[in-house]
Structure 1
Amino acid sequence: MTTLAIIPCGNKKIWDREGEIGPVFARDAYIGTFHRLCRAYAETFYPQWVILSAKHGFLQPEDTVPGPYNLSFSHKSDDIIPMQSLAEQVQRKRLNDFQHLVVLTGKKYKPIVEKSFGPGHDIEMPLLGSRGIGEMQQKLKQAVSEGRPL
C-alpha cells in the first residue's frame, strides 16, 4: 500500500529570519519546531510527503512558495484556499494515487483532508489524542530517534 504523509506548514517561515530572500521551495519555507519535527518524522518513515498550507494547499517539497503569509485554516479569511481547489490539487498532483494517508496534525485538519481526498482513503492521524503541541513534539522526536513509527 502506498502511503502519503501530510504535514502542517507552520506560522514561522524563512522570511521571518531572512526577510528579502524571495521565493523558496516549500521544503525550505517553514522553519517552526513543530513543522520541522513533522517533516523529520515524514522523511524518516514515508518517502512521499506534502505540506498542507491554508494559503497554497498541498505543497510538494519542490513546489515554490512565493513569499511570506500569515494564514491558518482556523482564521476566517477569503484568502484561505477553497475546498474545491484542494480537491483539484489532489487530482492534478496525483495525490489520490495514495490509498493510505498519515496526517501529522491535530483534529481540525481531519475534515479538510477527508473532503479534499474524498472517500476511499485510509486516513491515519497518529497525533490525535495528544494533550497539546508539547506532547505531539515529544512523540515525534521519540519516534524518529527510536526508528519506530507512531
Structure 2
Amino acid sequence: MKKADTASAAAALYTGSYAQMCLRAAWQLAADAADIRILSARHGLLRLTTVIEPYDTRLSDYDAITAEQLHDQAAAAELLHRPVIVLAGAEYTRLVREVWPHAEAPLLGSRGIGEHRQRLARIIYAEAAR
C-alpha cells in the first residue's frame, strides 16, 4: 500500500488511490468522521488524526496486528458492541470478523481490485446523492 514518506495523520498517510477511495466511502457511510478507524497491519485501529511514521508491514508479517490485539484495542476504545462496516480486502475482512463476527463487508466476494473500486464508487456516489 502506497504511503507518505514522512510521519502523517493516518487519514493522510495512505496516499494510494484505492486507500483514498476506501476513506471517501467510509466518510459517506459514517454518521460522524470520529467513528471511522483505519486498520493498520502494524498498529491496529487508528483514528484518522493519529500521527504515525510510515511502515512496511503486511498482515502476514510476524509483527502484524493479531486478532487478540485488535480485540483489546476495540475493547479499550469501547467499540466491541458497535456496528462495523469493513471496506477492505479478504485478509483484513477476515481479521475484522474475528473481533466483530457480524461486520458488514460490502467488498467481500469481489473478483478483484477493479470490482472493489466499482463497489466503492457506488457507495461514494449513492450516499452523496442522498
TM-score bracket, shorter-length normalisation: 0.7 to 0.9
Q: Report the count of equivalent residues.
A: 126
RMSD: 2.0
Larger Rg: 1
- 1-structure distance, mates of 2:77, 2:69: 12
- Please identify runs of 4+ aligned residues in structure 1 that moved more than 6 A: none
1:13 correspondence with 2:3: yes
**Partner residue of 1:105?**
88
**Partner residue of 1:64?**
51
How do 1:1-150 and structure 2 match up within 5 A? 11-15=1-5, 21=6, 23-46=7-30, 47=32, 48-65=35-52, 67-73=53-59, 75=60, 77-98=61-82, 100-117=83-100, 122-147=102-127
The residue type equivalent to 2:3 in the other structure is K
Higher strand share: 1
Unaligned ranges ≥5, structure 2: none
Kept in 1, the 8 Å contact 2:85–2:103? The answer is yes
| Cα separation, partners in 2 of 1:114 and 1:142, compared to 1, 3 Å | closer
The residue type equivalent to 2:86 in the other structure is V
Q: Could you tell me the TM-score, scaled by structure 2's length?
A: 0.85
1:87 Cα deviation (Å)?
1.3
Q: Could you tell me the TM-score, scaled by structure 1's length?
A: 0.75
Identity of aligned residues (%): 31
